[in-house]
Amino acid sequence: MDTSSSLHLSWSGRPLSGSAQLPASKSESNRALIIQALAGGGQLHNLSDANDTELMQRLLAEPATADTLNAEDAGTVMRFLTAYLAITGRQVLLTGTARMRQRPIGVLVDALRQLGARIDYTEQAGFPPLQLQGRTPQPPAEEPVELRVRGDISSQYISALMMIGPQLPGGLRLRLLGKVGSRPYIRMTQSLMQHFGAQCRDLGEVVEVRPHAYQPADYTIEGDWSAASYWYAMVALAPAGSSIVLPGLRQYSWQGDQAIVGIMAQLGVVTEFGAEGVTLTQQAPALAVEQDFTHCPDLAQTVAVVAAATGVPLVLTGLESLRIKETDRIAALQIELAKFGGALLDEGDGRFRVPSAAFQVSGQSIDTYHDHRMAMAFAPLALRGPLTILAPAVVRKSYPQFWRELGTAGFTVTEQT
């Protein structure tokens, strides 16, 4: 798809039905690839076809003689690779897109330097690009190295450090400072590490990793709950009698974004688990909803759009990390919701509100801000009226087949250049 194109979306008016194919979990895939590389083997099945995962595979396969690696706009790739390259002693420049060079990484670099990594900033201190200069050998140790790490910026820093912990002579103890966001992603990292033979304990304020080498293992990646959230939105916004089946999802998932089940139950969507996945059907929404997104920030855009479109008053907290994602997602939401008569109001002290207001979909164009989740969070509004998505190719980052799946589900999807 041409990056300069746009997509016009519309809906026939009939109930939504059938099934939709989800990508495999990008979060699981990228963690599993790093751990597999450190373990030295094992087969990974059902890897995500998202650009971020294909990029991770390519960069991990680059020869040791490569002098530059480009993480593009992929946060997990930049952060996980920084730790992986540091622990393996690589000497290489790690860079990214213009937006990636605005996303902070100082917390992770400071921690890695304490582990002996030699890392220099080539432009602005605290931000990529990074020049990795190898690692000072660490002496044998009986006790783990203890690092104090802020938990209120990105859990990806914590996961990156956890995954290299088994490679350290005495292991690693992370003391997490302040409010810890996205805790389920830390537990996902822990579970995958344990699957590959590592000894890792999450004790709340402390995460402890013993110096017990990874063992090669096979693993099958689950379907992506973040991607499922857009189909929840569609069922919530679709005509009465709508339902959809989503194969490949587990009831007992390691993914934090499975929280969408409980959140969307309040916004009118019932989840039924079966042997092959889940079935989504409609029910009456709550009169008002208040939700903390600290541990599932990637769901915030989708939920805000559904609340605005259905007129259910919504209070959102735990949005601190949204300012440093692919775009400033709070600002982007405020601009785009306003096009429909909606709003995201900042009430201070980390509290935001989507009020019940007149909301009309009537041919508006959605700017996507180089952010895959902006495109997919607003696309379900086509069930309420025609709209246009600008730069729709951004979905390749996590759900490359999204527009094709919309067409299969019955949307009219017309490419415009």
36 membership: H or E segment, kind and range: helix 26-39
Residue 136 identity: T
Q: In what order do the strands lie in the sheet with 269-274?
A: 243-247, 277-282, 269-274
User: Is 179 annotated in some ligand binding site?
Assistant: no
Q: Quote the Cα angle for 333-334-335, to 5°.
A: 90
User: Is 99 annotated in some ligand binding site?
Assistant: no
Q: Which two tokens stand for residue 77?
A: 């790739």
User: Is 182 annotated in some ligand binding site?
Assistant: yes
271 neighbors 278 (Cβ within 8 angstroms): yes
User: Is 329 annotated in some ligand binding site?
Assistant: yes
User: Is 325 annotated in some ligand binding site?
Assistant: yes
User: Is 27 annotated in some ligand binding site?
Assistant: yes
Q: Quote the Cα angle for 354-352-151, to 5°.
A: 140
Q: Which two tokens stand for residue 405?
A: 């799946």
- Dihedral of CA atoms 297, 319, 269, 277 in degrees, nearest 10, equals 10
Contacts with 368 (C-beta within 8 Å, 6 or more apart), sequence order? 374, 375, 389, 390, 391, 392, 394
DSSP codes, 220-257: EPPB-HHHHHHHHHHHHHSPTT-EEEEET--SS-S-GG
Backbone angles phi, psi at 298, to 5 degrees: -70, -10
User: Is 339 annotated in some ligand binding site?
Assistant: no
Q: Determine which one of 202, 224, 298, 371 is catalytic.
A: 298
User: Is 113 annotated in some ligand binding site?
Assistant: no
User: Is 218 annotated in some ligand binding site?
Assistant: no
Tell me the angle at which helices 75-87 and 26-39 cross, rounded to the nearest 10 degrees: 10
User: Is 156 annotated in some ligand binding site?
Assistant: yes
Cα separations (Å) of 164 from 79, 154, 250, 379, 396?
A: 12, 17, 28, 38, 29
Specify whether 298 is catalytic: yes
User: Is 31 annotated in some ligand binding site?
Assistant: yes
Backbone angles phi, psi at 179, to 5 degrees: -70, 125
Q: 206: closest CA among 183, 173, 157?
A: 173
Annotated binding site for phosphoenolpyruvate: 26, 75, 103, 156, 329, 373, 397
Catalytic residue numbers, as ranges: 298
Annotated binding site for 3-phosphoshikimate: 26-27, 31, 154-156, 182, 298, 325
Annotated binding site: 26-27, 31, 75, 103, 154-156, 182, 298, 325, 329, 373, 397
